[in-house]
Amino acid sequence: MDYDQECDVLVVGSGAAAFSAAITAKEKGASVIMLEKGSIAGGTTMRSGGGFWTPNNRFQKQMGIIDSKKDATQYMARLSYPQLYNPDDPLLGLTQNDFDLIDTYYDEAQQAVKFLEDCGAIKTINEINWTGKPQVDYMDHLPENKGIRGRCLYTQNKEGKLSYGGELIKQLRSWATSNNIPILTKHEVKHILRNAQGEIIGLEVLKDGQDTLNFRAHKAVVFGSGGYTHNTKYMLHFQRGPHFGGCSAPTNTGDFIKMGGEIGAKLGNMAGAWRAQLILENAIKHPEGVHNIFYVPGDSVLEVNKHGKRIMDEKRNYSDRAMTHFVWDPQYAEWTNMLVFMIFDQRTATLWQGFAPYPVQGTEAEHIITGDNYEELAKNISSRLKKLAPHTGGFSLSPKFLENLRETIDRFNRFAVSGKDEDFGRGNFNYDREWTTFPPTISGADWPPKDSPNYTMYPLSEKGPYFAVILGAGTLDTNGGPVINKYAQVLNNFDKPIPGLYGAGNCIASPTANAYWGGGSTIGPALTYGHIAGLNAVAEPVKQA
């Protein structure tokens, strides 16, 4: 076979995982080519908050925070596999491979970040939240977490400030281009090439949707591409319940799942995803956009289901909030919480204006449903649902929605006055108070109210207008696919490494399973296992074509 281009290591994708693998391999002396399906580099990382969850990092050590391996791995195992978790077992109740992925992550995450910093690819900063403290994890209240702070790192921009996913990609791409790593956009990988011994030796690639090219990898191929959020068939058949879109790159259609299946790769975590609620109507109109609701901002705000009842602590993290949508009703054969309704008053709409989903006051926002009173609001929600019926299987409100909504809001208001949410404990946790409840977006607001017993809650006004937004489940991206081991090698169906094939990022079965350990639990594993993949890919022997 003739090859159009050759190198030591081919890297598929151009997000955090791919750049980490490519930079590591290049820094270790290998020649590298990156292949990106889309027209621009950056993948889903470009759209992200840009944090990377890094236990036992240098900033924690500087602040005197002891982040022990025992505590961190127990927290990770407990949250990722609660049905298996056993603190008295040497493997914490997990399978050997799942334990190894978590155990290795603790050791190597800090090393991956250090490597990228030391070679000049990124400059990092620790997040200090609005309360002046290092940030907490998403489940800081679990006994295994021990309330450890400071695990979420970000890139630091030229002004020395914390920056997001775009800056992370900018820094990684700058290093790659300065060090002569070709980043070939509009190059869609179609097939994995093998030699007679079954070793991976290259990729068949479609350039610009027209020309088929063959790329030779002398040592290894690393997939650091995306999940399958934008593959409607995969979403329908693999996910545990209805999703209405996601904020991942539009090119994320699960290509590695198909290609991996062709060569016998073992698949895992196929129902898994990084999730967040999203604005249903915006996602329907603009499926390639970013419509996720990562936080429920404000205090005089709550969420109810079709029966007009609260179903969660609205201040919990986005991924776990989205899981509440997958409740099945065995009597009526429906997803009871498939759609939920974010209810708020003028206070919250004004104080937190401009922070999604609240528009800047005076601007049009079609996703906002209004009513001068609760009866009118319920009527308008019902009318909106009828228009959306072709997209929702005819989902509608319960006949008792209005009655229950009034009771629910009365109960919520009593909790807000007393400061104790007797149903869901909203405001009991540092995460609720520091991540998802934050000062108003308008300057000079007198907040939080003086002597507030629980500033995550405030009674909804006795008079309208009132507002609602229809929310459904969405993804940041899926996180299932070919299974890797602690060396980032892709395994076959007999749990043996496929020679010369590595994986990291959202295209593989995530080392976190279905858990979001804390801010940066997507990019953290991507950078870490991308780095591990790069190290081991370089160490591979040259393979015969």
Strand pairing category for 211-223 and 5-12: parallel
Tokens of 466: 């009132």
452, 475, 498 - which closes a domain: 475
Same domain, 30 and 150: yes
Same domain, 182 and 227: yes
Structural domains of the chain, count: 2
Residue 540 lies in a domain: no
- For 68-106, give the DSSP string: -HHHHHHHHHHHH-TTT--TTSTTTTS-HHHHHHHHHHH
457, 475, 493 - which closes a domain: 475
pLDDT of residue 354: 97
Same domain, 458 and 499: no
Residue 390 lies in a domain: yes
pLDDT of residue 275: 97
Same domain, 386 and 420: yes
Same domain, 266 and 319: no
Domain range holding 517? Answer: 5-270+479-530
CATH code of the domain containing 244: 3.50.50.60
Tokens 């329908």 map to which residue? 236
284: which DSSP letter? H
pLDDT of residue 454: 98
Q: Are 239 and 474 in contact (CB under 8 A)?
A: no
d(CA 463, CA 465): 7
pLDDT > 70: what percent of the chain? 100
User: Could you tell me the CA-to-CA distances from 318 to 164, 241, 303, 312 in Å, in that order?
Assistant: 18, 16, 13, 12
Residue 391: what residue type?
H
pLDDT of residue 30: 98
Average pLDDT over residues 252-267: 98
d(CA 545, CA 543): 6
Same domain, 223 and 163: yes
Strand pairing category for 273-279 and 466-478: antiparallel
Q: What would the pLDDT profile of 433-470 be if each residue is shown by its tens digit? A: 999 999 999 999 999 999 899 999 999 999 999 999 99
Residue 243 lies in a domain: yes
Q: Are 511 and 102 in contact (CB under 8 A)?
A: yes
Same domain, 466 and 432: yes
Mean pLDDT taken over the chain: 97
H-type alpha helices, 324-423: 346-351, 374-392, 401-418
Residue 536 lies in a domain: no
Average pLDDT over residues 71-78: 98
Confidence of residue 221 (pLDDT cuts 50, 70, 90): very high
Residue 256 lies in a domain: yes
The 3-state secondary structure of 310-346 reads CCCCCCCCHHHHHHCCCCEECCCCEECCCCEEEEEEH
d(CA 69, CA 12): 32
The answer, yes or no, to whether the previous bond of 448 is cis (omega within 30 of 0) is yes
Same domain, 373 and 485: no
pTM of the model: 0.97
Q: What would the pLDDT profile of 11-47 be if each residue is shown by its tens digit? A: 999 999 999 999 999 999 999 999 999 999 999 999 9
- For 205-260, give the DSSP string: EEETTTEEEEEEEEEEEEE----STT-HHHHHHHSSS----BSS-TT-S-HHHHHH
Tokens of 542: 């040259």
Residue 189 lies in a domain: yes
Average pLDDT over residues 349-362: 96
Residue 349 lies in a domain: yes
Residue 537 lies in a domain: no
User: Could you tell me the CA-to-CA distances from 261 to 137, 191, 481 in Å, in that order?
Assistant: 35, 11, 9
Tokens 């127990």 map to which residue? 74
448, 475, 502 - which closes a domain: 475
Same domain, 241 and 316: no
- Does residue 1 register a pLDDT over 90? no
- For 165-207, give the DSSP string: HHHHHHHHHHHHHHTT--EE-SEEEEEEEE-TTS-EEEEEEEE
**Element (H or E) spanning 536, and its range?**
helix 523-538
Residue 505: what residue type?
G
pLDDT of residue 364: 87
pLDDT of residue 407: 98
Same domain, 436 and 344: yes
Per the DSSP assignment, residues forming a β-bridge with 503 are: 223
CATH code of the domain containing 464: 3.90.700.10
Same domain, 83 and 113: yes
359: which DSSP letter? P
pLDDT > 90: what percent of the chain? 99
Q: What would the pLDDT profile of 282-324 be if each residue is shown by its tens digit? A: 999 999 999 999 999 999 999 999 999 999 999 999 999 999 9
- Does residue 106 register a pLDDT over 90? yes
Same domain, 445 and 487: no
Residues near 506 by beta carbon (within 8 Å), at least 6 away in sequence: 15, 17, 44, 225, 226, 227, 248, 252, 274, 477, 478, 479, 481, 522, 526
